[in-house]
Structure 1
Amino acid sequence: QGHGPMSLLPATDSSPAWFDGGAGNGTAASPEGEDTYGNAINAAVTLVLVVTMVSLGCTMELEHIGAHLRKPRGIFIAVLAQFGIMPLTAFALAKVFRLNPVEAVTVLICGCCPGGNLSNVFALALDGDMNLSILMTTCSNVLALGMMPLLLWAYSHGLSDTRFVIPYGKISITLALILLPCAAGIFINAKFPKYSRMMLRAGMALLLVTGIVFIVLMALYMGSIIWLVFSPTLISIGVLMPLLGFMLGFFLAGLFHLSYKCRRAISMETGFQNLQLCSAILRLTFDPQVIGPLYLFPLLYIIFQIAMALLLVLMFRLY
């Protein structure tokens, strides 16, 4: 089974019975074919992520990293937003929309996940503080080792009696795929600065192409079933959660009088979650017969995360 940190494809060894890797003709997909396809997708996503994180590392400077570590106010605010605002937002939405226990827990898991790599990409697009952005993502994933079990235990008491399985291995892999490529990018920027801009452009070009392919594939895959699988309530939550995360993260950073570059970075860090972890927890915690189509909710959520972030980037560039 692949471990691509941004891959949200159903795992072949435990895919829900209703998932058909084909064209929706109701026939069972070949396990060997699914496994090969899934591993190929995970390998491609991992390669793109590594190149992207190396290129983002080229925007970082040791002097600025040290400044954020010596005065970690921005990191503290981001952690407060990530593990304070988002779980509470997920819990509140589940209560307001009166979700059933399985739906509520699915939304809660998404809200309790740490920051994802897409926050770094969109922080760059919004001219955010990249040193702070990548430090925040790293810290939130480290803290997730303890905070996710605690938050899920605390909030789930008001929703269900589910016992969660936390994929610590995937969190560790995510950390490695942040730290090692970024370290390489920092080294390139420090020792070979004339190549760092070239690396950044190449990485962003690769990400742009693969991002367009991803969006098209997800539109084809989800477009025909989204209105059949998900209720209007879940679709509304998929839109509201990232939007509230972006807004509340920005305003919280503003309350502490951080620079606008830091505010934009914290906004992206708050609104983007590592949804592959959400998929892994759903797969490990629930039987396929219990979770059913809700296994696809992280896919729906990431589509709306990207859509909301692209809208913010467009508004920022026009402004």
Structure 2
Amino acid sequence: MSELDGIRLNFNEESLFLLNLSIAFIMYGVSLDLNLKSFKEVIKNPKPAIGGVVSQFILLPALTFLLVLIMNPLPGLAMGMILVAACPGGNVSNFFTHLSKGNVALSVTLTIIASFMAIIFTPLNLEVWGELLGNKKNIAVEVDFWKMMQTISIIIGIPLISGMLTRKYFPVFSEKAKKIIKSVSMIILLAIIVIAFSKNLDLFLKYWHYVFFLVLIHNLLALLLGFTVGKISGKTSADTKTITIETGIQNSGLGLVIIFNYFQGQGGMALIAAWWGIWHIISGLIISQIFNFRSTDKGQPASV
């Protein structure tokens, strides 16, 4: 076992509770945007949604596994990459899709669908690819599929259903609350990640060179994968932008929840997930500006 795999981040029970709560709160806010019309649009034109789901839950974990084999990082870092790839798209993807003039309705719908599917597919992908990785690197990978699915159901499934019911039965409140909830929840999540960084600043400064380029390359490949799938399955450039962002922006907050609940805050995994949480905000802003620049450069209107 390497020195990195032996470290444990300073992250107490209160911080974990707040992280769980913020993820649940974010999912509740996201689901306030969803109505039956969104699902009807997906049913009428399912190809982009199917492409987005396949890109997130099948192609990205498989591509990540190949990347791990090629780059051969330390076992804990490798498992962190697999875990991030197994998580659904991050809710901040809706903001970046809007910023990119993408298909916001598709983005929100994909976020909801992916979040529900994550209840099964996140632990399943982690179990399948984690065990394959463990066999390749001779490390023991134990994933309690059912217990993990139960945890994800509580912090994602229940808030999503609650939000959809709120929108249906209390539409006026829902419309007023959703913008406030999204803003507040994002501030809370960002604050928790920043606080976690500050409490472990010495570790990040000591080991940053292990994670910086891994996350950079991993995220770039995820965005390129999403762009390729978007070109194939999307009907418009707005769909392509959306699928690109949905694939490249991962719910690393959920990844941290899983790490501290099931992997005892394993250092390599936590460093990858925590840096993803910061880096994908930076890359999301960059890709949004690139998309807008390309649209303007081609003489297209800013609103696609």
Shorter-chain TM-score above 0.5: yes
- Residue among 227, 238, 248 paired with 2:205: 227
Higher relative contact order (CA 8 A, sep 6+): 2
* Number of the residue aligned with 2:276: 301
- Residue among 107, 129, 132 paired with 1:133: 107
Determine if contact 1:109/1:278 at 8 Å carries over to the other structure: yes
Determine if contact 1:110/1:298 at 8 Å carries over to the other structure: yes
TM-score (norm 1): 0.72
* Number of the residue aligned with 1:67: 41
* Higher helix proportion (structure 1 or 2): 2
Supply the distance in 2 between the matched residues of 1:209 and 1:145 (Cα, whole angstroms).
25
Instruction: Note closer, same or farther for the CA distance 1:120–1:85 as it changes in structure 2 (3 Å cut).
Output: same
C-alpha deviation, 1:68, in angstroms: 0.9
Q: Deviations over 1:295-315 (max 9, x none)?
A: 332111111111100222333
Supply the distance in 2 between the matched residues of 1:62 and 1:220 (Cα, whole angstroms).
42
C-alpha deviation, 1:142, in angstroms: 3.1
Supply the distance in 1 between the matched residues of 2:238 and 2:191 (Cα, whole angstroms).
29
Determine if contact 1:89/1:241 at 8 Å carries over to the other structure: no
* Number of the residue aligned with 1:265: 242
* Number of the residue aligned with 2:166: 184
Determine if contact 2:19/2:253 at 8 Å carries over to the other structure: no
Matched, 1:172 2:150: no
Q: Deviations over 1:242-261 (max 9, x none)?
A: 22222321221112342222
Supply the distance in 2 between the matched residues of 1:114 and 1:97 (Cα, whole angstroms).
23
Instruction: Note closer, same or farther for the CA distance 1:285–1:263 as it changes in structure 2 (3 Å cut).
Output: same
Q: Deviations over 1:129-182 (max 9, x none)?
A: 233222222322333344344433443354214221231123213123234325
RMSD over aligned Cα atoms: 3.5
C-alpha deviation, 1:97, in angstroms: 1.4
Instruction: Note closer, same or farther for the CA distance 1:208–1:317 as it changes in structure 2 (3 Å cut).
Output: farther
Instruction: Note closer, same or farther for the CA distance 1:283–1:201 as it changes in structure 2 (3 Å cut).
Output: closer
C-alpha deviation, 1:285, in angstroms: 4.5
- Residue among 23, 27, 51 paired with 1:77: 51
Where do 5+ consecutive residues of structure 1 fail to align?
A: 1-15, 22-33
Instruction: Note closer, same or farther for the CA distance 1:272–1:178 as it changes in structure 2 (3 Å cut).
Output: farther
Determine if contact 2:81/2:269 at 8 Å carries over to the other structure: no
AA aligned opposite 1:228: K
AA aligned opposite 2:129: Y
Determine if contact 2:97/2:103 at 8 Å carries over to the other structure: yes
Supply the distance in 2 between the matched residues of 1:144 and 1:205 (Cα, whole angstroms).
23
* Number of the residue aligned with 2:255: 278
Instruction: Note closer, same or farther for the CA distance 1:181–1:87 as it changes in structure 2 (3 Å cut).
Output: same
Deviates more, 1:120-129 or 1:90-99: 120-129
Instruction: Note closer, same or farther for the CA distance 1:64–1:113 as it changes in structure 2 (3 Å cut).
Output: closer
* Number of the residue aligned with 1:3: none
C-alpha deviation, 1:118, in angstroms: 2.3
Give the 3-state SS of the residue equivalent to 2:286 in structure 1: helix
C-alpha deviation, 1:73, in angstroms: 1.3
Instruction: Note closer, same or farther for the CA distance 1:146–1:178 as it changes in structure 2 (3 Å cut).
Output: closer
| 1:8-157 paired onto structure 2 within 5 Å | 18-20=8-10, 34-36=12-14, 38-40=16-18, 42-43=20-21, 45=22, 49=26, 52-53=29-30, 57=33, 62-157=36-131
Determine if contact 2:28/2:162 at 8 Å carries over to the other structure: no
Instruction: Note closer, same or farther for the CA distance 1:315–1:17 as it changes in structure 2 (3 Å cut).
Output: closer
Identity, in percent, stands at 19
* Number of the residue aligned with 1:30: none
Determine if contact 1:245/1:271 at 8 Å carries over to the other structure: yes
Q: Deviations over 1:235-282 (max 9, x none)?
A: 211112222222321221112342222222212221122324433443
Supply the distance in 1 between the matched residues of 2:73 and 2:57 (Cα, whole angstroms).
22
C-alpha deviation, 1:82, in angstroms: 0.5
Supply the distance in 2 between the matched residues of 1:121 and 1:260 (Cα, whole angstroms).
17
Instruction: Note closer, same or farther for the CA distance 1:99–1:200 as it changes in structure 2 (3 Å cut).
Output: same
Supply the distance in 1 between the matched residues of 2:288 and 2:273 (Cα, whole angstroms).
22
AA aligned opposite 1:164: V
- Residue among 225, 230, 233 paired with 1:253: 230
Determine if contact 1:93/1:237 at 8 Å carries over to the other structure: no
Supply the distance in 1 between the matched residues of 2:43 and 2:56 (Cα, whole angstroms).
18
C-alpha deviation, 1:91, in angstroms: 1.0
Supply the distance in 1 between the matched residues of 2:290 and 2:257 (Cα, whole angstroms).
34
